[in-house]
Amino acid sequence: MTATVESRLMPSLWCKRMDPVDVVSEHVRVTTEESDRVAATIPSEMRVQYQETSPSATLDIFGTDLPNDSPIFVYLSGGYWQELCGAISSYPVMPMYQNGIVSVIPNYGRAPKVTMSDIGEEIISLGQWLVQFAQKRKCRSIVLSGHSAGGHLCATLMSSPWFDSLTEEERSLFRGMFLLGACLDLTDIPKTSINDPLRLTESEVRKFSPLQDHNLKRARQNSAKMQTFLIYGQNDAPGLIDQGRKYAEALKELSPHWMRIPERDHFNLVEHLADPDYVVTKLILTTLKGQSNESSR
C-alpha cells in the first residue's frame, strides 16, 4: 500500500492474518472471552475507584488471596484513547496469578467524553493509588505495562512531574515497564481521523508526547533504575514501530530492550499474553519474579 500519515498509524491496515475490520472484532472477541474466564475464576476486587472525581477511573485487582507482599503487575489497555475498556483487558492475568503475582487492570476515560488532559490526570491518580497500594501491602515491586495507547500512558507517567516528585523509596517501587505496540509521539495524530474524538490541542501534543525532549529528559532520570522493554509485532503499524525505535535510541544510555516479535501484529502481540509459554509473557514473569527475589534479599 502507499503509506500516508494516517495509514502508518493504523495497525489494522498492516495485519496479514485478516482484513482490518475483522482483526479488530476478533481482538475484542478474544480479549473479552479470556477476561471473562479470568473474572470467573480468580479471586478479585472489582471496580475500585482510584480517582473520586471520575466515574471511569476504576480498576480491578486480581489475586486478592495472594500474600500482601506479592509483586504487582499493572496492565493498561489501548484503543487510541477512545475504544476498548478495562473490563475486557484482564486477559494477561492468568499466568501472573499462577506465578504468585497480583494484577491490577485499570480503566480510564475515553474520548470524546474526556480529553487527553483528563486522561493524563487520571493516570497520575492511578500512579498515586499504586504507590499507596504497594506501601500498604509492603510490596516492593511494581511492573507497568500497556498496549498501544496504554503503553503511551505508561511512558507518560514515567516522564510526568508527579513521578519526578516522588521520593527515592517511592520511585524504587517501579521495577520495570513494558511498552507493547506503544504510541509514543502525538505529533501526527491531529492530521488523522484518530483525532476526531480526541480534539488534541497543540499544548496537549507537546505535554503528552513521550518523545518530546522535555519528557525524554525526565524519562532518562526517572527510568534509570527500571528495566524498559519496547516490544512490537513484525506486522505492526510502521509509524508506531518507528516511534518505538526512536524512544529506544533516545534512552540508549539506560539500555532499554527493543524487540520485534516475528509473525505478530498489533493485536495478537498482546492476545498471546494469556499463554504462559509466550515469549513476552515469559519476559514479564522473569522481570517480576527476578525483582521479587531481589527485594526479598
| d(C-alpha 284, C-alpha 297), whole Å | 20
Strand, coil or helix: 263: strand
pLDDT tens digits, residue range 32-73? 999 999 999 999 999 999 999 999 999 999 999 999 999 999
pLDDT tens digits, residue range 158-180? 999 999 999 999 999 999 999 99
What is the model's pLDDT at position 295? Answer: 44
| d(C-alpha 126, C-alpha 51), whole Å | 7
Strand partners, 44: 62
Q: H or E stretch including 179?
A: strand 174-180
CA quadruple 79, 84, 89, 92: dihedral sign = negative
**Has residue 120 got a pLDDT over 60?**
yes
| d(C-alpha 179, C-alpha 228), whole Å | 8
User: Could you write out the DSSP letters of every residue in 52-114?
Assistant: TT-TT-EEEEE-TTS-TT--EEEEE--STTTS--GGG--TTHHHHHHTT-EEEEE----TTTS
| d(C-alpha 209, C-alpha 221), whole Å | 17
| d(C-alpha 48, C-alpha 275), whole Å | 27
**219, three cell numbers:** 524519562
Backbone φ and ψ for 130, nearest 5 degrees, come out as -65, -40
What is the model's pLDDT at position 2? Answer: 52
What is the model's pLDDT at position 291? Answer: 52
**Has residue 89 got a pLDDT over 50?**
yes
Question: Is residue 234 packed enough to be buried (19+ CB in 10 Å), middle (13-18) or exposed (0-12)?
Answer: middle
What is the model's pLDDT at position 292? Answer: 44
Summarize the confidence of residues 239-245 as an average pLDDT: 98
